[in-house]
Amino acid sequence: MRYKVFGLLVFWLLINSVQPFGNGNVGLACDTMMPNHRTHAAQESMSPYRVAASSYSFSPGDEITVTLLANFNTTFEGFLLQARSVTGNRLVGNFRVLNSNSQILDCGGVMGLAVSHINTSKKSNITALWTAPDLSDNVHFRATFVRNFKTFWVGVESPLLTFITPSNQRPTTPNVPAVYVLSTNLPSNKVGSTIISRESCGTDKVCFSVPTDCDPSRSTNCYFMSSSPIETSGQGYLLGISGPSTGYVSVGFSDDMQMGNDDMYLCVMNAAGVIEVQHAYSEGKSQPRVLTPGNIEVILASYNNGIIQCTFIARSISILNPLQNSRSINSLYHIFLAYGSSSNGQVQYHGPSGRFISNSRIDLLAASNVTSGPYGLDPLVKAHGSLMLIAWMTTGSLGMILARYFKVTGKQLVLGKAVWFQAHFFLMALTVCATIASFVLAFVKEQGWNYNLSTHAIIGCIVMCLAFFQPLIALFRPSPQSSRRFIFNWFHVINALVIKVLAVANLFLGLQVVSHTYAWMPEVMGGFFAWEALAFISLEINAQMAEKAETGRYDVNDDPKSKSPAKTDVFLLLIYLCGNLAFLITLLVAIGRS
């Protein structure tokens, strides 16, 4: 019996000596921040996680919200968060937890110097409150992220938090979710530049704005960026970004006018409602790769009355891939301004209307006023939209009307088939061909499949599939005398109705994307929808009246009565066609001039 008890005790000790700290009691790792996961080493690749703060400067006693964030479609199971002084690498400050799945730790006998998880549930963000100590030193927040037992990143740092003396007055914005405050590291001659405005544009700094010459300090509908070189050699550029958005505003630098291989700086609202500045690299059709924050120093950022603003220093600007060993420095770039929505700190696709590009390369070292000029829609986008409008406003609608209401009027034979059928077949073939061509143009524009799919793109794919199979199924339809013909008839009608509804809804979405030039375009589309509904109602009433009149044309002796009802279906069709073309031409002209 003694041997059994001894064996069980040894087995229990062995199990506990190798199990990971799933409960987050990792106080033993306070010094190194390294998980004790046997032989597994920390990842050396770029971390898919980042550390953000609600302020990047502090005085003793300040409370700062710290947020741990995972990139899109990424989670972490465990974490360890600390604040470290730049001088001496000491643990400083005191944490309080704000989430039910986190806890404070005892490091070296002092409670509150670190925060960790309490379980291994998957997490995408964690927030904690840090109280600044009485310390005359700058600070980094530093974190370890554990994706799973074998994969973890150690020492992921936030941008530098700058200590300022309590006597320095910092700008404040009441009732703002997140405000980064002034850094004392900014050269004295640049302090006035932290207020984002058109002042000194063209004399001391490069400015790019939409609308042209708008002033973000006076207008709430102004997308604006400014850049001025820091005079001290090697200190980089002082950048300012401003624009109305609830997700992000950004500036990018490229050697051409296409997205891809671009240096980007994003002013983003993250999952905790905190505005953070991200340095990223755009590879084209995928999510921008968020880089480590070592290249930037945040000076001022805010979200107030729907306006996002950021001022920061970029130590270098380069369009070369950051994974390469060296990055050459240039000063001639096309400037991109963009805005859009964000999800958990991840920027979403801005669409064609959410991006503005300078017409030429701009020298960031030479002060100038950059105008967007006549920036129009890409010709491929115009062609895509025009083909879809023609297909689903005119040819598709006429084809459906002929099949529904003109089987009697158009029963004359042409090439062995009724006129209505020949016209229906021709118009619907045009509709499918225009839809396919438009679909191909979208892929050509995006240069392949784009994984940042919008609702417009998803519905477009559904319409394309249904429209493609509609004529194929019609080729294998049973004969009119077949007992199964009714199955085809119902399927053909229901599928056509679904395609029509989805196509019209998608036209509304597409016009909202391109309507920044003519805001009334969706309203014109709404007018067309009402006009078409009125036409269908009128034709339906006329068809019912014609059917009743047809049954009354014969008396009891089957002799036709002297008078037959006037046929108005052709007249109604002509009236509808005139209105249809008026709406179509209006929208096509607007797209052409957008």
Which CATH code is given to the segment(s) 179-371?
2.60.40
The Cα–Cα gap between 238 and 71 comes to 27
Q: Which of 492, 485, 487 minimizes the C-alpha distance to 403? A: 492
- Winning range, highest mean pLDDT, from 45-49, 215-219, 454-458: 215-219
Residues pairing with 417 in the sheet = 414
- pLDDT value for 563: 42
Q: 270, 69 in Cβ contact below 8 A?
A: yes
Q: Which of 292, 285, 281, 251 minimizes the C-alpha distance to 268? A: 251
- For the cut 80, the answer to whether the pLDDT of residue 19 exceeds it is no
- For the cut 80, the answer to whether the pLDDT of residue 256 exceeds it is no
Mean pLDDT (the chain) is 79
Q: 240, 226 in Cβ contact below 8 A?
A: yes
Q: Which residue has the higher pLDDT, 285 or 242?
A: 242
Residues pairing with 51 in the sheet = 68
- pLDDT value for 274: 77
Burial code (b: 16+ CB inside 10 Å, e: under 16) for 11-50 equals eeeeeeeeebbeebebbebbeebbbebeeeeeeeebbbbb
Domain boundaries, the chain: 18-163, 179-371, 379-552+564-593
- For the cut 80, the answer to whether the pLDDT of residue 397 exceeds it is yes
- pLDDT value for 372: 62
- pLDDT value for 411: 80
* Fold of the 379-552+564-593 domain: Four Helix Bundle (Hemerythrin (Met), subunit A) (1.20.120)
pLDDT class for 517, splitting at 50, 70, 90? low
Find the mean pLDDT for residues 102-125: 89
Beta strands 332-340; 362-363: pairing state: antiparallel
- For the cut 80, the answer to whether the pLDDT of residue 419 exceeds it is yes
Question: What pLDDT, in 10s, does the model give residues 445-464?
Answer: 777 776 556 788 888 889 88
Q: Report CA 200 to chain centroid distance, whole Å.
A: 33
Q: What is the 3-state secondary structure (H, E, C) of 316-357?
A: CCCCCCCCCCCCCCCCEEEEEEEEECEECCEECCCCHHHEEE
CATH 1.10.3730.10 fits 18-163, yes or no: no
pTM for this prediction: 0.48
- pLDDT value for 442: 84
Q: Which two tokens stand for residue 236?
A: 């980089």
Q: Which residue has the higher pLDDT, 230 or 97?
A: 97
- For the cut 70, the answer to whether the pLDDT of residue 172 exceeds it is no
